[in-house]
């Protein structure tokens, strides 16, 4: 059967994906340069926290393909897909495949740990996270070390993610990047027909969740929560 186009990714997921990619790239750059860019580096960290909180909420109350329940598979399913992926057989999925789903979780955890530890970190010179004063210097130093080491783990995950995207493009002939721009995937006709049953949540719900996430992060970094 021939392939057909099917709408898979909603606008909130796509905006989240590319916004996060841009902010993370800036964070690596500003963190390495330091100096006057550290103020922007901290703002970038707050932005990552907002995006991660939003994605967690959207993973529960968002569109079908955005929900964790739709793409988090057990070990057997993940291993079965890995074997299929390494064979010559096509391995199309409407949304995240079993391995890609766990990559989403791994990246969210790493980003939350990276940005969260940065709130308490210090550089022993002039810059410290907004919550560094709430812990001892020794604790701040330990969290600074976590911040630096998580950076390396995050780089490894990003490299693995990009490698998987390239593999799907070159070997499996799946344009995952294009789909994340347009929201549309080319799928086998039967799978595309099944995808017609996907439900897409309102963008207004996404905007409301984003505002709530931003408010929570503001309450955290401004230490307003201490006065509540």
Residue from 7, 24, 13, 118 nearest 56 by CA: 13
Q: What confidence tens digit (pLDDT) does each residue in 93-146 have?
A: 889 999 999 999 999 999 999 999 999 999 888 789 999 999 999 999 999 999
Which DSSP string do the residues of 72-103 spell out, in sequence order?
Answer: ---HHHHHHHHHHHHSSS----SS--HHHHHH
Structure tokens, 148: 């630096």
pLDDT in tens, 11-69: 999 999 999 999 999 999 999 998 889 999 999 999 999 999 999 999 999 999 999 99
Chain mean position to CA 217: 17
**Three-state SS letters, 95-115:** CCCHHHHHHHHHHHHHHHHHH
In the chain, where the domains are located = 3-111+148-227
194: number of CA atoms within 13 Å, CB side? 10
Counting Cβ atoms within 10 Å, is residue 226 exposed (0-12), middle (13-18) or buried (19+)? exposed
Q: Is the pTM of this model over 0.85?
A: yes
Catalogue the E-assigned strands of the chain: 3-7, 184-188
What is the pLDDT confidence band of residue 217, given thresholds at 50, 70 and 90? very high
Between CA 40 and CA 8 the distance in angstroms is 34
């Amino acid at each position: 059967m021939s392939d057909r186009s099917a709408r898979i990714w909603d606008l909130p997921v796509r905006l989240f994906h590319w916004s996060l990619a841009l902010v993370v790239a800036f964070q690596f750059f500003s963190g390495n340069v330091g100096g006057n860019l550290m103020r922007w580096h901290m703002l970038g960290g707050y932005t990552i926290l907002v995006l991660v909180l939003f994605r967690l909420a959207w993973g529960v109350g968002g569109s079908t393909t955005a929900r964790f329940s739709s793409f988090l598979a057990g070990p057997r399913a993940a291993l079965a897909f890995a074997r299929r992926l390494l064979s010559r057989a096509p391995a199309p999925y409407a949304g995240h495949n079993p391995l890609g789903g766990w990559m989403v979780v791994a990246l969210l955890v790493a980003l939350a740990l990276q940005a969260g530890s940065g709130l308490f970190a210090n550089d022993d010179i002039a810059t410290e996270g907004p919550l560094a004063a709430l812990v001892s210097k020794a604790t701040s130093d330990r969290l600074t070390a976590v911040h630096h080491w998580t950076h390396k783990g995050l780089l490894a995950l990003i490299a693995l993610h990009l490698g998987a995207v390239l593999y799907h493009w070159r070997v499996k002939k799946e344009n995952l990047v294009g789909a994340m721009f347009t929201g549309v995937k080319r799928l086998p006709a039967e799978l595309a027909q099944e995808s017609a049953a996907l439900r897409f949540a309102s963008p207004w719900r996404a905007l409301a969740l984003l505002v709530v996430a931003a408010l929570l992060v503001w309450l955290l970094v401004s230490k307003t929560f201490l006065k509540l």
